[in-house]
């Protein structure tokens, strides 16, 4: 292991760290993929802490196919070719796999990878790093527990205006002002209810008359267009009905995708741009086929003669 190889490994790790702020998945070819899941703000009732929303990082060792995202980012950042960027990734992966045999590997601020007793990769994310840009600047807040208390309510003073004898022969005093207040409240409620019924009846009658006038105006209205707009003929491109596509490359920039498309057309392929995938990359295909057998046969030919990184995408476009 030399200093140059170690530097390449650290450099690739920093690029992975950068991409996780913008994408939900970053795949390292022939190694695995770092996948993010958005989680909402959380409250810990035991520690009395408030955690902001964040991106939770997981590692999937089955995501090994090169989707071009990491390589394209390295190539554009260092102003090198795509092939040179792929070579850098291969060197970093070789170093990580070699180091994992004896030690844990730290991927920049993303987290740590290590082998368990069954020789399986175990990922421990760095919880101090929040890759959710919406929560930038927000940190965990701790609050002291809130103590709740009950305020003692003192009884109101009473006057001996009326004495009521209960069935148990105990005397109970009812304040005079409470008796009068209850009577006044009943009168106010009854008066308000009667007023509302009267007003509601008047409003319904007025609203009904307004609707009749509007209907009369609509029935008598006539709409005439002296100069109608000319008809517009739209040419709609036929949708892609074939669902087996041979992918030539995935590109972050539109100009690079157009350049690749023109290159394939000049070589005689019925190439097309399929659109943008879920990682924000523009996919360019050699051609599309109706059957899987036909697509696999052509894929083997292209991999042996033109591009060994070509791969088959099965997707039906509406």
Per-residue DSSP letters for 16-79? HHHHTTT-SEEEETTTEEEEEEEE--EEETTTTEEEPPEEEEEEETT--S--SHHHHHHHHHHT
Residues paired with residue 233 on neighbouring β-strands, in sequence order? none
Residue of higher predicted confidence among 318 and 147: 147
- Reported as a pLDDT band with limits 50, 70 and 90, residue 234 is very low
With a cut of 80, say whether residue 22 has pLDDT above it.
Answer: yes
Per-residue DSSP letters for 151-169? PPPPPPP---SEEEE-TTS
Query: pLDDT by residue (tens digit) across 27-63?
Result: 999 999 999 988 877 777 667 677 788 888 999 988 8
Q: Is there a contact between 16 and 85 (Cβ–Cβ < 8 Å)? A: no
Query: pLDDT by residue (tens digit) across 178-191?
Result: 455 545 554 445 45
> Shortest CA distance to 108 belongs to which of 34, 173, 177?
34
Token readout for 229 is 């707009």
Residue 237: the pLDDT is: 44
> Shortest CA distance to 88 belongs to which of 114, 70, 61, 67?
70
Residues paired with residue 56 on neighbouring β-strands, in sequence order? 37
Residue 291: the pLDDT is: 93
- Strand, coil or helix: 253: coil
With a cut of 60, say whether residue 244 has pLDDT above it.
Answer: yes
With a cut of 80, say whether residue 132 has pLDDT above it.
Answer: yes
Please report which residue ranges of the chain form alpha helices under DSSP H. Answer: 3-19, 69-78, 82-100, 176-220, 254-266, 292-305
With a cut of 70, say whether residue 223 has pLDDT above it.
Answer: no
Residue 236: the pLDDT is: 37
Query: pLDDT by residue (tens digit) across 286-310?
Result: 999 999 999 899 999 999 988 898 9
**Burial class, 216, CB count within 10 angstroms (exposed 0-12 / middle 13-18 / buried 19+):** exposed
With a cut of 70, say whether residue 145 has pLDDT above it.
Answer: no
Q: What is the DSSP letter of 101?
A: T
pLDDT-above-90 percentage for the chain: 34
Q: Rounded to whole angstroms, how far apart are CA atoms 188 and 181?
A: 11
This prediction has a pTM of 0.43
Token readout for 300 is 């083997």
What's the whole-number average pLDDT of the chain? 76
Q: How many Å from the N-terminal Cα to the C-terminal Cα in the chain? A: 51
Q: Rounded to whole angstroms, how far apart are CA atoms 219 and 227?
A: 24
pLDDT-above-70 percentage for the chain: 64
With a cut of 60, say whether residue 285 has pLDDT above it.
Answer: yes
Contacts of 201 (CB under 8 A, 6+ apart): none
Query: pLDDT by residue (tens digit) across 191-206?
Result: 554 545 444 566 556 6
């Amino acid at each position: 292991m030399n200093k140059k190889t170690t530097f390449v490994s650290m450099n690739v790790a920093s690029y992975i760290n950068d991409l996780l702020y913008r994408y939900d998945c970053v795949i390292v070819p022939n190694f695995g993929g770092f996948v993010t899941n958005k989680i909402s703000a959380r409250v810990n009732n035991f520690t009395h802490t408030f955690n902001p929303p964040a991106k939770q990082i997981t590692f999937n060792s089955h995501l090994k196919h090169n989707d071009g995202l990491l390589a394209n980012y390295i190539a554009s950042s260092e102003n090198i070719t795509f092939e040179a960027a792929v070579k850098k990734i291969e060197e970093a992966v070789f170093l990580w796999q070699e180091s994992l045999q004896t030690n844990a590997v730290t991927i920049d601020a993303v987290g740590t990878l290590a082998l368990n007793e069954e020789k399986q990769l175990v990922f421990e994310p760095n919880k101090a790093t929040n890759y959710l840009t919406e929560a930038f600047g927000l940190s965990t807040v701790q609050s002291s527990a809130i103590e709740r208390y009950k305020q003692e309510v003192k009884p109101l003073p009473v006057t001996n205006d009326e004495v009521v004898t209960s069935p148990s022969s105990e005397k109970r005093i009812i304040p005079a002002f409470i008796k009068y207040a209850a009577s006044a409240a009943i009168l106010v409620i009854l008066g308000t209810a009667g007023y509302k019924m009267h007003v509601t009846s008047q409003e319904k009658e007025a609203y009904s008359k307004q609707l009749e006038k509007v209907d009369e105006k609509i029935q008598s209205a006539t709409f005439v267009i002296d100069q109608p707009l000319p008809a517009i003929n739209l040419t709609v491109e036929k949708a892609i009905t074939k669902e087996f596509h041979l992918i030539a490359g995935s590109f972050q920039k539109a100009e690079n995708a157009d350049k690749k498309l023109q290159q394939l057309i000049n070589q005689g392929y019925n190439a097309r741009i399929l659109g943008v995938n879920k990682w924000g990359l523009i996919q360019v295909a050699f051609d599309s086929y109706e059957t899987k057998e036909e697509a696999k046969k052509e894929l083997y030919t292209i991999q042996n003669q033109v591009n060994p990184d070509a791969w088959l995408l099965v997707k039906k476009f509406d």
